[in-house]
Chain A
Amino acid sequence: MNAPDRYERFVVPEGVSKVSYERDTKIINAATFTVEREDHTIGNILRMQLHRDENVLFAGYKLPHPLQYKILIRIQTTSQSSPMQAYNQAINDLDKELDHLKNAFEVELARHNASQQREF
Chain B
Amino acid sequence: MEGVSYQRFPKIKIREVKDDYMKFELRETDASIANALRRVMISEVPTIAIDLVEIEVNSSVLNDEFIAHRLGLVPLISERAMAMRFSRDCDACDGDGQCEYCSVEFHLRAKCINDTTLDVTSKDLYSSDHTVVPVDFSDASSTIDNTESRGIIIVKLRRGQELILRAIARKGIGKDHAKWSPAATVTFMYEPEIYINEELMETLTMEEKQEFVDSSPTKVFDINPRNGQVYVHNAENYAYDDEVLKKAEAMGKPGLVEIHAKEDSFIFTVETTGGIKASQLLINAIEILKQKLDAVRLSADTVEADEQFGELGAHMRGG
Please report A residues at the B interface, Cβ cutoff 8 Å.
6-7, 9-11, 17-21, 23, 35, 38, 40-42, 44-49, 52-53, 55, 81, 84-102, 104-106, 108-109, 112-113, 116
Contact = CB atoms under 8 A, between A and B. Distances in A.
B302 A21 contact: yes
Nearest to A44: B32
Interface string B1-41: 10101111111111001000000100001101101100110
A10 B13 contact: no
B206 interface: no
Contacts, number: 131
Nearest to A112: B14
Given A91-B297, A101-B29, A101-B286, 5 more contacts: A48-B30, A81-B3, A106-B283, A112-B14, A116-B17
B306 A84 contact: yes
Contact of A19 (B12, B32, B297): B297
B299 A17 contact: yes
Interface of B: 1, 3, 5-14, 17, 24, 29-30, 32-33, 35-36, 39-40, 44, 88, 173, 175-177, 279, 282-283, 286-287, 289-290, 292-299, 301-303, 305-306, 309
Contact of A41 (B3, B292, B301, B306): B292
A38 B36 CA distance: 12
A19 B39 contact: no
B296 A35 contact: yes
A100 B11 CA distance: 9
Contacts of B14: 108-109, 112
A80 B266 CA distance: 35
14 contacts: A7-B88, A19-B298, A21-B305, A23-B306, A42-B296, A48-B30, A55-B3, A89-B3, A92-B5, A100-B9, A101-B12, A105-B282, A105-B286, A108-B13
Contacts of A11: 88
A53 B3 CA distance: 9
A85 B73 CA distance: 45
